[in-house]
Amino acid sequence: GKAGFSTVVNPKCAASDPEQHKSAREDIKEILRSKFCHPIMVRLGWHDAGTYNKNIEGWPQRGGANGSLRFEIELKHAANAGLVNALKLLQPIKDKYSGVTYADLFQLASATAIEEAGGPKLPMKYGRVDVFEPEQCPEEGRLPDAGPPSPGDHLRDVFYRMGLNDKEIIALSGAHILGRSRPERSGWGKPETKYTKDGPGAPGGQSWTVQWLKFDNSYFKDIKERRDEDLLVLPTDAAFFEDPSFKVYAEKYAEDQDAFFKDYAEAHAKLSNLGAKFDPPQGFSLDESPTSGTPEKFVAAKYSFGKKGMSDSMKQKIRAEYEAVGGSPDKPLPTNYFLNIMIVIAVLALVTSLIQN
């Protein structure tokens, strides 16, 4: 294609390399810090995955997270206006790591952008296989439109076709917290507002929220209150507080950020797997703890809300200390563990001084 992205078939594309994925993740963090491009990276991952049709069996006809968005024919779909910029930023990383497919790179960039913006830790897996020719791109018209005649029905048509439900639609929509709508790309929004005229990143556009590079639940709060004409509310956004089923979740997320983060993390990971073919078939995780078959009860480690979470090994250490004394980070200890330690130390000091005397 004219855009000049490498479309070479990598015969070893199946041999995805977890270490290369980890290095690529660090490179993506550098780009995010220098370019403030979190929103467009999220959109790139979503638009590759969001073409999935659950009613089509075969891969890649079913669409989904398969790297097809790198081909010019799909980049030119109206819903993908501007995404070529995200691809240009990621191409050097793709060139550097042959063991990372485009399909994985797009989802890795999307997930890393959410986490780096202060969002929840996402339970992602990798190992997606790439399509290798433009003929394998899905037809246009599978992605949501911002201003359809009946917004609620339109969103349901699109997301139900992907196999997602009302809760997942609303949780995922919360990612509008990041970024701006640009009239020159989508036809929506103002050319600039007091929140966007100085950037960060390229100036201009209209944001849904005041701090449009910080991931939290203010998207739901701001739409609900609608008291700032400099903030964008699309017809599809407004539907969230008008539609009876959507409203339940939108109200809940406006009140409870932890609930939003938990549901968002699950929905984002699910979206990122849509339609993908994995090799190995179960995929692989980049987290230090191996993914076991048993459901993980320890929620605090999975969803670290701080921007800089503790390392997984540190969490496991702290958790082991808790469990050694019969507690768990999720419930208070039966005894005051730390006070007891202080008493033990004091007693030891006393005994030592008595012996020395």
pLDDT value, residue 293 = 44
pLDDT band with cut points at 50, 70 and 90 for residue 221: confident
Torsion, Cα 276 122 126 309, to 10 degrees, reads 170
Tokens standing for residue 208: 């849904």
Q: What is the CATH number of domain 18-142+279-285?
A: 1.10.520.10
The answer to whether the CB of 174 falls within 8 A of the CB of 187 is no
What letters, b where the CB count within 10 A reaches 16 and e where it falls short, cover 49-70?
bbbbbeeeeeebebbbbbbbbb
State the average pLDDT over residues 202-224.
86
Q: Where are the alpha helices (DSSP H) in the chain?
A: 18-35, 38-49, 72-75, 84-96, 102-116, 151-161, 166-173, 183-186, 218-225, 235-239, 244-255, 257-273, 299-302, 312-324, 337-356
**Which of 337, 175, 203 is closest to 271 using CA atoms?**
175
The predicted pLDDT at position 325 comes to 61
Question: What is the reported pLDDT for 304?
Answer: 45
Burial 314-342 (b: 16+ CB within 10 A, else e): ebeeebeebeeeebebeeeeeeebeeeee
Q: Is the pTM of this model over 0.85?
A: no
Is 47 a residue of the active site?
yes
Taking residues 180-192, report their average pLDDT.
81
pLDDT tens-digit map of 254-308: 999 999 999 999 999 999 999 999 999 999 999 865 444 444 444 444 444 444 5
For 3, the 3-state DSSP assignment is coil
End-to-end alpha-carbon separation of the chain, Å?
Answer: 86
- Chain centroid to CA 306: 15
**Residue range 191-210: mean pLDDT, rounded:** 85
pLDDT score, position 328: 55
Mean pLDDT for the chain?
A: 84
CB 264 within 8 A of CB 171: yes
Greater pLDDT, 180 or 327: 180
Closest of 142, 141, 113 to residue 50, by C-alpha: 142
Amino acid 10: pLDDT: 44
- Which residues, including other chains, have CB under 8 Å from residue 153's CB and lie 6 or more apart? none
What pLDDT sits at residue 290?
Answer: 46
Cα gap 236→220, rounded to integer Å: 13
| 118-144 pLDDT tens trace | 999 999 999 999 999 999 999 999 998
Of 165, 172, 208, nearest in space to 190 by CA: 208
Both tokens assigned to 191: 């050319």
For the ranges 35-39, 217-221, 266-270, 333-337, the one whose mean pLDDT is highest: 266-270
The SS3 assignment for 214 reads coil
Report whether pLDDT(323) > 80.
no
Per the model's pLDDT, the better-predicted residue between 16 and 27 turns out to be 27
What pLDDT score does 295 carry? 43
Catalytic residue among 21, 38, 47, 154: 47
Do the beta carbons of residue 130 and residue 66 sit within 8 Å? yes
pLDDT computed for residue 235 by the predictor: 81
Q: Is the pLDDT of residue 331 over 60?
A: no
pLDDT at 149 over 60: yes
Homologous superfamily of 151-264:
Peroxidase, domain 2 (1.10.420.10)
Note whether 247 and 238 are within 8 A (CB).
no
User: What pLDDT is stored for residue 222 in this prediction?
Assistant: 84
